[in-house]
Every structure is written in C-alpha cells, then in structure tokens.
Structure 1
Amino acid sequence: MKPSRSGRHLALGVTAAALGLTVAFSGGSAVAAPAPTASTASGIVLGVGAEESQRVVSWYSSTGAAQVVQVVPTNRLDHGQFPRTAQEFPATVAANTVNGGFNAHAIIDGLKQRTSYSYRVGSGSSWSPTYTFKTQEFKGDFDFLFYGDPQIGSSGDTAKDGAGWADTLKVSLAANPNAELLVSGGDQVESANTETQWDAFLGSDKLRQYPWAATIGNHDVGGKAYEQHFWTPNTDRSAPFYNGTPDTRSGGDYWFTYKDVLFIDLNSNAYANGADDAHIGYVTDVINKHGAKAKYTVLVYHHSIYSPADHANDGDNQLRRQDFPTAFSNLGVDLVLQGHDHSYSRSYVIKNGKKANPAEQPGATQVAQGPGGVVYVTANSASGSKYYDLTDPDTTKDPNYGADPLNPDNHWANSVENQEHVRTYVKVEVRDDKLVVQDVRSGTCAAPNAAVERGNVSWCGPDEGATQAKPVGSTVDKVVIHPYRSNGHGHDDDHGHGGSHQGDPCWTRQSGQSGSTLTALS
C-alpha cells in the first residue's frame, strides 16, 4: 500500500500553520480554509461491510454533532489534501455509555475493485488523520488472517500486551500484504469497559488499513464497549443472540459475504436456555437464503468446542459439543474458526460430532472433506498476553471427550494440538478447489511476549521448552482441505439447505509425503 506524499504534505502544513491557515486543493488550485481544531475522533477502526464493495468505519467522538467519513481514491489526493469533490458518507452517532462521549459509524459503499482509497472522519474543519485501504478483485481467490484472543491487559501489563499484538499485526501483514480480511477470534481486551485496553488494542494503524471482522468473546461482554467500537453488518441482536441485562448487552449474530465465502459470526456467550438452538436457527436461515451463492461457509465464534487446553471440559463447551456438530454437518459448513483456549488445535474432519474417517492420520497435510465433513480450528494467542497449556484428555470430566486412539496425548477430535508460548496467527487461503489453513509463528520467546517476559509461564519453545524456539514466519501446522463437490456446485444438493447427508461415499486413504490424503469415492 503506497503512503500519501507525507513529506510534501508536512512542508505545506508547516507553511500553512505559520499563516494560521490550512490549505485545501480543488482541481490543483489552493484555497485558504480556517485552521482546524484538534480532531475529536479516537479509536478509529476499519470494519467489514456486507460485501466486497463495502467497508465500515467506526470511531469514538467527543461530540454528538453530525459527522462523516470522507473518501477519495488515493490517486486523487493533492499533496495529501482531499479535493472538494471527495465523497462523504454520513455517520450514525449515538451517546457512548462507557466514557460519556459518543460513538459513531459510517458505511462506505460503492467501492470499486483494485483501487486504493484514502479516508478521514470528522466534519467542517476538524478531521482525523488520513488513512488508506485498498480493494482487490471482487471475484476469485483470496487470503484472510485469523487472530486468537489478543485479550489486551490479561498479562497484567497492558503496554506489553499491546506491543505483542501490534507486532503480530505488523509481522503477519508484512508476510501477507494482500490479505483481504482480518478475522477476530474474540476477546479483544481483558475487561470489557476498560478503555485503556481498547486504546492499546486499536493502537496499530493496520486496523485502519485492513477490515477487521469482529467477534465477541467472554471478556468483551459485561458492557457496551464492544459494539460501540465495532459496527457489524446484518446483525441480529435479538435476546437469544445478545445475552445480558439491558445495560450490559453487547454482540449479536451477524453475517457477510466476501467473494465465494459466506461468513457467519456467532455470539457464543449466549448458549443456555435455548440460545444454541437459536444460533443453529440463525445459521440455517442465513445459509438457506445466501449459501447457494457461496462455495464455502465459514463459521466464527469464540468458545472452541474442541478445546485442547484449559477450557476443554468446561460445562458450556460440553453443551456446545452436543448442540453444534451435527447441525453444522447437516448445513454443509466447511470451516469453523474459534478462540478462547489460547492454544492451537486443528481437528480431524468431523461429521455429526464424530471423526469422519477413523483412518485419517494425526497431522495429515491433506484431507478430503466429504459430505458433512467440517474442520474446526482453535487459534493460539496473537498477542502473547496469555497462553493455556495443553491438557490431557480426561473422561472423568467428559466421558465423550477422551483420547485419540492414534495419538493418546491428544483429544480424540484433534489432529494437531500445539502450545509453545509464542505468538501465532492463522492464515486461510481460499481457492476454487481447496482451503489451505496454516498456523504461523509471529513471535519467538523474545520480547514482545508479555506472558514470557513477566514470568507468567515457566518455559518457552517447542516440546515444552526443550527445543529452541523456531523463527518468526515458520509454520506450526498446515493442511490443505479438499472440499466435497457434487453436480458441479460447491456442495451437494442438500448442502446449505439444512438437509441430512444420506448415502455417503466410501472413504479410502492414500499415503502422502507427510500424513495422509483422504479421498472420497462416489
């Protein structure tokens, strides 16, 4: 992404400041304008829209006055200044229940593909700094990045947590500059209404350059800050999706489409008293209405049902393990992205809450989905604020979540479980004929790694610290998922319409260089 001509902008700004003026340009001609007051905007974050041609900008403001997002193709900036013809999108402004100010959001619509845009928020003579994002092709392949639990503040040192989080964003986007979405696993902060933690979470300008698809975690509830910081498209905040008392409710279920993927995001904090059934109903309805246009369906929520660590046998997860898997298989979900357990795991192909093919080997680098097959991924900490160590399967706590016969150290559902006490992120490559899921190290045992720096964990590195930490950018795990295809479409006839998959094909296992390739035979 090319920066604006900041050096020339600075020189002009110095000259204008000496005259008590700002300089605006229209058609190449400079015009005098009143000197701006200090920007009232803070916490600016770029979010996903309902589709590729939309983005959402959310921010906090000290004023409730009318505000806009001003947007222009970057190549139309003149010495960093917005032309008078820049398009403006009006903001919705509401009283902020957290800090007494206001929160605002505006939907940027009608974006064109393969274009760099610059934007700022404010009104009149008071504007935020200028930020830039770019769109890419609106069809075809793309990559997105998934981040687990930054949970800023959970180490006991907000600044160190923020440094680790900012470094993961920097490292991951330097390695993947054309990534098109940043997807959240939830728990942006430790304490829902602590704005210093939100400030640290939102400190990196990467969150103003790439769209953030927010997910609400259990540490994001208990107040309104989450939804005041993030406006999400197509959101249902009905009671079953929006738990808590009226003063502290936040979240909801939402969905959006991006190219060939239907993303559905659930507030998994709501799970009891029929909420899981309500989530399934929501997913069913969205897939029935929009799934036919998508090649893949990706679900995102916070609480990992196939947790490998401390939360493996939590009572709420035991309930979700009963409620979700068969429904997700019947609905033709392809990939489920989760957080909460601050460790990495990748499941076997799971169908109806069971391993789809008993012959699939641990760590297989290629798997075939088969009808009803779903892969579940749990992300490790992206900030280094908190790690949970892997736990041994314990059937005394949950008789249905025992050991993997092929790898008794792991829970039966998981092909890979990993914890090294280093920061990681998950890269997902969306291709016409496959999904590629890769867990990548974004840090080492060295700072910034708050949990290690503060001695919150006693070891660091592979094999519980017995092996030296691998370099930044190295791969923890990688798998190619070959989707089920039928009749030339992305899914079989029932896939995406709530029907059950009867008459499944047989499975055969072909040995590969690393692990196994599972191939469905019709």
Structure 2
Amino acid sequence: MKTIKSNDAARLVRRRVARGVTAAAVGVVVAFGTGPMSAAFADEPATLTGIILGVGAKESQRVVSWYSSTDTAQVVQVSPTDKLIDGQFPKNAVTFPATVAANSVNGGFNGHATIDGLKKDTAYSYRVGAGDSWSPTYSFKTQDFKGDFDFLFFGDPQIGSSGNVAKDGEGWKDTLDVALTATPNAELLVSGGDQVETANTEPQWDAFLAPDKLRQYPWAATIGNHDVGGKAYEQHFWTPNTDRSASYYKGSPDTQSGGDYWYIYKDVLFIDINSNAYANGADEAHLGYITDVINQQGGKAKYTVLVYHHSIYSPASHANDTDNKQRRQDFPTAFSNLGVDLVLQGHDHSYSRSYMIKNGEKANPDEQPGATQVAQGPGGVIYVTANSASGSKYYDLTAPIPGSDFGPDPLNPNSHWANSVENQEHVRTYVKVEVRDDKLVVENIRSSTCAAPNAAVELGKVKWCGPNNGADAAPPVGSVVDKVAILPYTAKDNGKHNGAGNGNGDHPAQDGPDWVRQQDVAGSETLTALN
C-alpha cells in the first residue's frame, strides 16, 4: 500500500471528486450528497463524529464512515497496532483519502474511505482527520482469511421507538457488549435494518452510533423502513458493490436511499437488498440483482446468505402485511432455484426460524417443530427473523389465520405453517451464526432479562415479560432461545456446496436421501428422510 500525505490527499480528493471518478486504487470511495460542496471552512479544523467501521468487499477491506463539520480534505490513517509508539502513529503510517460530501439534513458533511490491503491475523489502529485535527484512535483485528468464522445478526435497534432515546441506546449498547463478550472473535456484525426510529433525526443516530464496538467490528448495514425518508442512512454507511439503480425504488420515491449490495467474506456470499420497495416491478428488479450476483459470484463461496428488512414469514404484527403477502409470492421459489442457504430478516420485533422451505412450501411435512438439526436438501432455504436488539419495541406473536396463505402449522396450530420456532418474551436477543465447512449453526441468544435496560418493559409499552406470556421467569442473559444446525446439500463427487443453483432448485446432484434429525422432549433422536 502507498502512503499518501495529507496535502497530496487534499489535491487528489478534490480533483477526483470534481471529475466524478472513484479512485479505487488508493481506496477512495465517492459518497453522494444532495447539497453542493463548500470550501467556506477550508482552514478550520474538522469536528468528526459518528465514526463507524463498515464491511468491505472482501476480508482485506474495511470501510470507515463519519460526519464532519467541514469539507476539508480528510483521510483515514492506519497502522498495525504494534507499530504505534506511546500511542502515536509512525511516520510511515498509511493514509487513505476520503471523499467528503454535503449532508442533506444538518448542513454538515459526511466522509467515507475504504481501507484496503489489510493482512490476516493482524491488529490495526486507525483514526480519521488531517493535519493537527484527528479523531481518537480506534482499533480492530483481522483474522484468518479462510476457514470457519462466526458472525452476529441484530434485529431492529430502532433507537427512539420507545419514546426515550437514552434508554433505547442503553439497551443497544448492552446487547453489543453481551454479544461480543460472549463471542469476542465474531468477524461481522450484520444488521437487520431500522437502526433508528426516524430517518433524519440525528440524536437517534448519535445514540445508535455511540457504542465503541461499532468502531472495532465491521457493521454490515441494512436499510429498514424507518431508515428511509432521507439520505441519512447512506450518509452514515457506505457499502461495497452497491447498485442504486432507479429500478430498485419503483413506485416508492420515499425509499430512495441505500440500494442493493453484496460482498464475499470467507466462504459466504452476502447479498443485501432494500426491501422497502416491492411494488411496480421492484421485487423483480431485486431478484434480477440477486440472480446476477449469484451467477457471477456464487461459485466463489460455499454458502449464500441473503439479508433484508421485511420478514416474509413474519410471526407477529407484520405477518399479513400486504407487502409481505406479495413477497411470499415473489421470493421463495426464486431463492430455492438460486441455491440460497439462509435468509436473515428483521422488521417484526419477534423471533422466528422457519422449517426448511422449498419453493414456498415446507420441504418435508414430517420435519418437527424445534428440530435441532436439519438437512438442507435441494432447494431448501431457512428463513430467520430477529427480535429487537435494543428492547425499544416488541411485537407480540399473532395467531395464524386458517385458510390464509400463512395459516396454522398442522404440527403446531399456534404457529404459522412456515415456522419451526416462534418466540416473544419481551427480552432483548441477537442471533449468532457459526459458519463451518460442514454446517451453518444458528442460535437466538438472550442479551437481557426483564430488568433494565429494556425500554419497552421499563416504560410499560408491554404488559408482561418472560416466557409463556410472562408466566415464567426470564432466563439468564446468555441463555439460548433456539439453536439449529443446518447441514448443506452437498455433491458426493467433490464434497463441496455450489453457491449458485443449477436453475431447477438443486445444488449439484447427490445420490440418496437427505435426513432431518429430530429430537423429542425426552431426548431420544430419530432420522427422517427429507426427500
């Protein structure tokens, strides 16, 4: 990597912004703002806030985003932590120039830069600024660029939705602390959307961005319905390989922020879409994007994970929303045909884990509720909905409607037919995903009890707390709500799962049946053929 001095960075950034060019070779990422650039504060030191570490296009990249009081040339300075001397960066520390663009809301500016060329298993320190004006120093650690890894998935912090921003922020910080204390080597923090309650309300963003864990671990942002209505989402987060084509916003002018994007991390192809737009051909456009990405990139990864906000097999208040009914028609068969393994969703502030779903139907009618291990089979997809990570808002589970497209489960009539597990205890939770060569392990884990910080409970927004509608005491922090091992559909000839499907809902051919391992309440196990 090449070191670029701050004065050189200033000339480079301004020249390239003027020409509208992305300087990928030196890690520049061009951000878009709705207001004009200003040089009025060219000589003033910048006040830098809202710094967040984001996911890059690959393991050796990270993106840093922030807000600035000026549009002066700024850089991200990076060094291996062991090269710092008494906390000071060495003279040969690498700098990555940023593009600083005008904010559409508060009159300030937003900056983004891509850190590239990172080495595996290395602790790095970084700061944002230029000249004599710098942010505090933060750090992160890369791990091996191949092999097993864990990532964490968080549903709807939605800071401000309880009516008390401070309490929501406390719950959000506590969940991050609990999750990363339990899994300190987690390599990604994946968002389910709705970071805040109101898109352009910066005090809510300040509370969301307050935890230092968001400067130590890369946040893979997802746009939710509460994040749209302005440009604050994409001003706070810059995402890799992002397509903001108008087709992804058809019929929804108020959703024109975010875009669809993808990245590969180790053996997983992650694809993230803006599910706020679904009508007038938008779903078709999203599926076209997913299809193109999988066709072009799927062969480079063992697993494909989709992430978007609106849960199509939602168990609570949004279960039968018009948009979800539409997506239940538009998405499942396509996802099966494309060989998707796991779909992560938010929006409904409750937890659910689906049965293995193929082409919009339960793949194996005999798969039992709460099975602890399932085999994927050709075209099988698991859908997970995450509960609130902050405790700002919970939605209670709803009763399935007989005769509807999302009616009761014959094996468990209190749940919807698609879901193996549905849970709401009014306690904060997060989802841990273990990526292994021979399986994906998904766990929903409690990050709180009924005690504070748990804003919806504290403020009386919900009337009970704990399992069985509050009849039982809340289990301890760190206890597991649900856990399942997903065995991928594999080809006998090479033992590898192909990231892309073959067009008919299958991964590469395999002889013999797949199996679902069931465990009854007494602890005995049986094997059931999946196909």
Alignment-derived partner of residue 407 in structure 1: 412
Distance 1:515 1:447 in 2: 38
Distance 2:443 2:254 in 1: 40
Alignment-derived partner of residue 450 in structure 1: 455
User: How many equivalent pairs are there?
Assistant: 484
Deviation at residue 270 of structure 1 after TM alignment: 1.1
Deviation at residue 243 of structure 1 after TM alignment: 5.6
Unpaired runs of at least 5, structure 2: 1-42
Q: Is 1:281 aligned to residue 288 of structure 2?
A: yes
Q: Is the Cα–Cα contact under 8 Å of residues 89 and 107 in structure 1 kept in the other structure?
A: yes
Q: Is the Cα–Cα contact under 8 Å of residues 254 and 266 in structure 1 kept in the other structure?
A: yes
Q: Is 1:57 aligned to residue 67 of structure 2?
A: no
Q: Is the Cα–Cα contact under 8 Å of residues 48 and 67 in structure 2 kept in the other structure?
A: yes
Distance 1:508 1:472 in 2: 33
Deviation at residue 283 of structure 1 after TM alignment: 0.7
2:126 aligned to 119, 128, 133, which one? Answer: 119
Q: Is 1:421 aligned to residue 429 of structure 2?
A: no
Residues 99/245 of structure 1: CA separation in 2 closer, same or farther (3 Å cut) = farther
Deviation at residue 249 of structure 1 after TM alignment: 2.1
Aligned-pair identity in percent equals 76
Alignment-derived partner of residue 215 in structure 2: 208
Q: Is the Cα–Cα contact under 8 Å of residues 507 and 518 in structure 1 kept in the other structure?
A: no
Distance 1:163 1:204 in 2: 9
Residues 521/70 of structure 1: CA separation in 2 closer, same or farther (3 Å cut) = same
Alignment-derived partner of residue 488 in structure 1: 494
Q: Is 1:478 aligned to residue 483 of structure 2?
A: yes
Q: Is 1:181 aligned to residue 176 of structure 2?
A: no
Q: Is the Cα–Cα contact under 8 Å of residues 337 and 503 in structure 2 kept in the other structure?
A: yes
Alignment-derived partner of residue 270 in structure 2: 263
Alignment-derived partner of residue 148 in structure 1: 155
Alignment-derived partner of residue 436 in structure 2: 431
Distance 1:201 1:74 in 2: 27
Deviation at residue 439 of structure 1 after TM alignment: 0.2
Unpaired runs of at least 5, structure 1: 1-35
1:304 aligned to 295, 303, 311, which one? Answer: 311
- Secondary structure of the residue that 1:380 maps to in structure 2? coil
Distance 1:189 1:409 in 2: 32
1:110 aligned to 117, 123, 126, which one? Answer: 117
The Cα offsets for residues 444-495 of structure 1, whole Å up to 9 and x where unpaired, read as 1000000000000000000000000000000000000000001325336x94
Distance 2:474 2:158 in 1: 23
Alignment-derived partner of residue 100 in structure 2: 93
Deviation at residue 508 of structure 1 after TM alignment: 5.1
Equivalent residues in 2 for 1:477-516, closer than 5 Å: 477-486=482-491, 487-491=493-497, 495-501=500-506, 506=513, 510-512=517-519
- Secondary structure of the residue that 1:286 maps to in structure 2? helix
Corresponding letter in the other structure for 1:203 = A
Q: Structure 1 length as normaliser, TM-score? A: 0.89
Distance 2:398 2:103 in 1: 41
2:240 aligned to 233, 253, 270, which one? Answer: 233
1:380 aligned to 384, 387, 408, which one? Answer: 387
Q: Is 1:80 aligned to residue 87 of structure 2?
A: yes
Distance 2:336 2:524 in 1: 24
The Cα offsets for residues 324-379 of structure 1, whole Å up to 9 and x where unpaired, read as 00000000000000000000000000000000000100000000000100000000
Q: Is the Cα–Cα contact under 8 Å of residues 68 and 89 in structure 1 kept in the other structure?
A: yes
Q: Structure 2 length as normaliser, TM-score? A: 0.88
Alignment-derived partner of residue 135 in structure 1: 142
- Secondary structure of the residue that 2:124 maps to in structure 1? strand
Return 508-517 or 55-64, whichever deviates more.
508-517
Deviation at residue 38 of structure 1 after TM alignment: 6.6
Distance 1:245 1:303 in 2: 15
